[in-house]
Homo-oligomer: A and B are copies of this chain.
Amino acid sequence: MNIGIVGLGLIGGSLGLDLLASSPDRNYVWGISRNINTCKQAEAIAAVNIASTDIAEIPDQVIEQTDIVVVCTPIATIVPTIRSLAPKLPANVIFTDVGSVKSAIVKPAAEICQQFGQIFIGSHPMAGTAFQGILAAERNLFQNRPCVVVPDADPVAVAKVRSLWQSVGMNIYECSPEEHDQAVAMISHAPVMISASLIAACGQQRDFKVLQLAQNLASSGFRDTSRVGGGNPELGRLMAEYNQKALLGSLQAYQKSLQQVIALIETEQWQELETFLATTQRDREIYMS
């Protein structure tokens, strides 16, 4: 199978590594990056067979036999990338992506692909590390991790995209773009804002001695609760920008739960608070199993 990977960062690079390492005879992987050094590095670590900053430099017969193109760029450039590449790729090619939002991408991407007789199937492989870039790429990054694939009127195309992610070890979940966005808003995007707000609240402390003490006493509880709020600000902004509606829904549900806890504490309903915390203790197990 000929596979194109556009965007050779952690995700694109790791995907290429696994595709080539597991089936070097069956897969041929070409890559595109804006950066020529990234292209050279991707070739050097065998994440791709060939890479270029310009699709025109990928041999015609490679392009003509391409089955799937995986767009691994940041969210904001997924649709523009498809718009620019679609005219240069054969009809029947399947595009997919790795974006952490789906509603904002699937419809416009599918419309572009349709114009060229191509198909877009939305994906969201949920894998990563704390690092970025082609040099952070690693084998087995996707192993046993969940991947959302958005169903489509073309079941053959969906099956091919499912197979691609399954071939690197992922567990597939099918759902609509809206279902995906609501689920990730709650378990991934809202936690970033909830966690960042904790850090910001500490910053409101005007008593310098208390602030300094808090900084000295902060330990694992604060470290874990604040971790994702201390992450990449650009990524946090993009989540909010491209998943605004579902994120706001999750944050409003969160405000309601928080207000409930505060009311229990204000009215000294200690037994009810303990029951509330026993429920969250039990419920968390379901997410962690």
A residues within 8 Å of B by Cβ?
Answer: 126, 145-146, 148, 171, 173, 175, 179-180, 182-184, 186-188, 190-205, 207, 209-210, 213-219, 221-234, 236-237, 240-241, 244, 247-248, 250-262, 264-266, 268, 270-271, 273-281, 283-288
Contact = CB atoms under 8 A, between A and B. Distances in A.
Given A148-B217, A188-B217, A258-B193, A199 B283 contact: yes
Given A236-B273, A250-B201, A225 B195 contact: yes
A202 to B, nearest CB: 5
A265 B251 CA distance: 10
Contacts of A227: 221, 224-225
A265 B280 contact: no
Given A146-B216, A213-B175, A227-B224, A240 B187 contact: no
Given A198-B190, A202-B187, A236-B273, A209 B179 contact: yes
A187 B228 contact: no
Contact of A273 (B171, B237, B258): B237
Residue of A247, A251, A260 most packed against chain B (CB within 10 A): A251
A254 B191 contact: no
A177 to B, nearest CB: 12
Contacts of A256: 201, 204
A275 B286 CA distance: 35
Nearest to A193: B261
Contacts of A223: 287-288
B204 A182 contact: no
Contacts of A253: 201, 204-205
B196 A194 contact: no
B186 A240 contact: no
A116 B273 CA distance: 37
A264 B248 CA distance: 11
A265 B248 contact: yes
A30 to B, nearest CB: 30
Nearest to A204: B253
Nearest to A236: B277
Given A186-B201, A201-B254, A213 B180 contact: yes
A191 B221 contact: yes
Contacts of A215: 286-287
A230 B262 contact: no
Contact of A173 (B187, B217, B252, B284): B217
